Amino acid sequence: MMLTLTTAGESHGPGLTCIVEGMPAGLMLDREAIDRDLARRQLGHGRGGRMKIERDRAEVTAGVRHGRTLGGPIALTVANRDFANWQERMSPWPVEDPPAEVHLPRPGHADLAGTQKYGLTDVRDILERASARETAARVAGGAVAKAFLTAMGVQVLSHVIQIAGVAAPRRDDLRPDDFGGVDESPVRCLDAEAGRAMVEEINRLRKANESLGGVFEVRAFGLVPGLGSHVSWQERLDGVLGQAILSIQAVKAVAIGDGLEVAGLPGSRAHDEIFYDERRGLHRETNRAGGVEGGMTTGEPLVVRGAMKPLPTLTKPLRSVDISTHAPAQALRERTDSCTVPAAGVVAEAMVAFVLADAYRRKFGGDHIDDARAAVRAYRDRIGWGDI
């Protein structure tokens, strides 16, 4: 039993579609929870004019009846309101007056490599699908995965820990309750002082026609030990998580726990020692591994960080080449955000939730949600890990 998540759609096309396959029947979905995650993806200081146009909502077109999953593929669509302004340029069918082709690839974007790979001459044929607008569909599907994980006793949360050169103080003691007000911060930072400094940095660099990157962190609480496996590279959970996070547009690096920091430490300070007592059973006092050892969850909170580069669409374009004439030119200038790190954290929540939901489905199966919960309870009983 496994999950798949497929998205379709272009940035300025009629809309985006997400299909989730592999969910058990009987799972209750909350329409408001799905739309709330879509709205959270649109948050963040540094967003551009597009977010003033879109009011993302998910319409379920298959796989759900009266709020419960039916066991078949679940289809969700998110309309692009901006399509009204792009109907000629993005019509699925030929138009009488075709728009001029775009020949100015942006450094750092999929534009040039995409036109070369697919033998196309119009950069728009690439950039529309490569756009991070696609992540709205992922967030809709991730909200379904979150509903499943909630039934398994798991919470997936995120926050921003760095924007450009401004970093928040490190917090190793975070619990789910600490994230209660994260979306009230304009940059989704848990530290108020650091959040204010991040806003100031966005304002400063935006005035200088610059874009900004940063680092987000996703934490998952309530996981059982043993999700994933050590027996093959395809099943190692940290590898799957790495691919999921790196698939988010503009993300260039990922770390599980203290993955970067421990590379410079001696072994005695790099690992999480194991203890036992009657109250807590087997446990660790530290979590440098970020909740994953040997490709499997340890039962500690999962900690995943993603580093996002500055966005490649700049209000003062970089140098490029016209791919039709090969003449020097400025890169394409489109309406853009200056910083989307807060939104990327919400997208990463969706991707982590999907990977974890898939890991639960693979390990515990079940045609109905009650079957899956019963299998998890039996496993927890076997290893002495409490109940959900």
Q: Is residue 379 part of a domain?
A: yes
Residue 46 covered by a domain: yes
The pLDDT score that the predictor gives to residue 51 is: 59
What pLDDT does 257 receive?
A: 97
Residue 284 located in a structural domain: yes
Percent of the chain with pLDDT over 90: 91
CA distance 106 to 104: 7
Residue 54, pLDDT above cutoff 90: no
- Is residue 366 in a domain? yes
Q: For residue 269, give the amino acid letter.
A: R
Instruction: Provide the residue range defining the domain that includes 275.
Output: 4-383
Could you tell me if 212 and 201 are in contact, meaning their C-beta atoms sit under 8 angstroms apart?
yes
Our measurement of the distance from residue 273's CA atom to the centroid of its chain's CA atoms, rounded to an integer in Å, reads 31
Position 142 in a domain: yes
Q: What are 9-45's pLDDT values in tens digits? A: 999 999 999 999 999 999 999 999 999 999 999 988 8
**388 occurs within a structural domain:** no
> Would you give the distance in Å from CA 50 to the centre of its chain?
19
Give the number of domains in the chain: 1
**Tokens describing residue 224:** 């059982």
Model confidence at 386: pLDDT above 80: no
Average confidence (pLDDT) over 236-256: 98
Within a domain: residue 189? yes
Question: So what's the pLDDT on residue 271?
Answer: 96
In a domain, 256, yes or no: yes
Q: What is the pLDDT of residue 278?
A: 87
**CA dist 97 → 29, 50, 90, 263 (Å):** 44, 25, 12, 58
1 pLDDT above the threshold of 90: no
82-114 confidence digits (pLDDT tens) = 999 999 999 999 999 999 999 999 999 999 999
Which two tokens mark 114?
A: 């995409």
What's the average model confidence in pLDDT over 236-262?
A: 97
Give, in order, the Cα–Cα distances in Å from 60 to each of 17, 347, 361.
Answer: 10, 19, 22
On the question of pLDDT at 320 being above 90, the answer is yes
pLDDT at 383 exceeding the cut of 70: yes
Q: With 90 as the cut, is the pLDDT of residue 374 above it?
A: yes
Average of per-residue pLDDT values in the chain: 95
Mean pLDDT of 270-299: 94
CATH of the domain at 132: 3.60.150.10
